[in-house]
Amino acid sequence: MKLGDGVEQALHCVLMLSGLPAGQVLAAPALAEFHGVSPSYLLKHLQALSNAGILQSVPGPRGGYRLARPAGRITLLDVVLAVEGPEPAFRCAEIRQNGPSPLAPRFFKKPCAINAAMLRAERAYREELRKVTLDMLASPPDSELGAAISARACGFFAQRARNAPPSPSH
C-alpha cells in the first residue's frame, strides 16, 4: 500500500490553482519551480489531471493550466483517482478457484467475504476523500498561516500568472 509521490505534487498544484484569480492561467514550469520539483515529471501528472477534466489546459505562449470547474466541485478523490488510476487497491485474484479441490464455479458469482470487506474499507476511504473539496483546504485568511500562504501565492501570481481567454470552451 503506497501512493506515488506525484499525488502530493498534483494536490498542491490544484490547491494553488484554486487560489488563482479568474481568467488567469499558470504554466507548468512556474508550478514546478514554485514547488521545487521536476518540471517534466510534474507535466506528466498535470496531463492526467487535464485528461480527467479537472484542469483545463491553454496551449501556446501565455498559456498554462487552470481549474476546469469551481474549487467547490473538485474533491480530493477526483485528484487522487486521476493520478493513481481508478482501479481499487485490492484486487481479488480468486485464488479459491486454484488448488487441488476447487469449489464449484457457481459459488464464484458472489465475491468472497474477504474481497467484500476490503472493498468496503476502500469505499470508506474514498468516501472520506470525496467529502473534502478544494475550497475546504484553503487556510482561513484571518489566521497567521493563511495570511502567509496567501501572500506567498499572490506574490507568485503577480510574477508568473498570465491572462488567458476567460472561458474558451463550454
Partner DNA sequence: GTTAGGCTACTCGGATAGCCACTGTCCGAGTAAAGTGGG
Partner DNA sequence: CCCACTTTACTCGGACAGTGGCTATCCGAGTAGCCTAAC
Cell numbers 515529471: residue: 41
| 81 binds DNA per the rule CB under 7 A | no
Cell triple for 22? 479568474
Single residue of 24, 34, 35, 50 touching DNA by CB under 7 A:
50
Cell triple for 48? 492526467
| 154 binds a second copy per the rule CB under 8 A | no
Contact criterion met (CB below 8 Å) for 81 and 52: yes
Cα(143)–Cα(93) distance, integer angstroms: 50
| 15 binds a second copy per the rule CB under 8 A | yes
Residues in the chain: 170
Cell triple for 55? 484542469
Which stretches within 85-142 are classed as H helix? 113-131, 134-137
Single residue of 2, 166, 168, 170 touching a second copy by CB under 8 A:
2
Q: How far apart are the first and last CA of the chain?
A: 39
Cell triple for 115? 474481497
Q: Which is nearer to DNA, 8 or 127 (CB)?
A: 8
Site for DNA in 12-41 (CB under 7 A): 27-30, 37-38, 40-41
Single residue of 11, 84, 118, 126 touching DNA by CB under 7 A:
84
Site string (27-46) toward a second copy, x via CB under 8 A? ------xxxxx---------
Select the binding partner of residue 92 from a second copy, DNA, none (C-beta < 5 to 8 A, by kind).
Answer: a second copy
Cα(133)–Cα(27) distance, integer angstroms: 23
Of 88, 40, 46, the closest CA to residue 65 belongs to 46
| 137 binds a second copy per the rule CB under 8 A | yes
Catalog residues that contact a second copy under the rule CB under 8 A.
1-3, 5, 7-9, 11-12, 15, 33-37, 76, 80, 84-85, 89-93, 95-101, 103-104, 107, 110, 113-114, 117-118, 120-122, 124-129, 132, 136-139, 145, 148-149, 152, 155-156
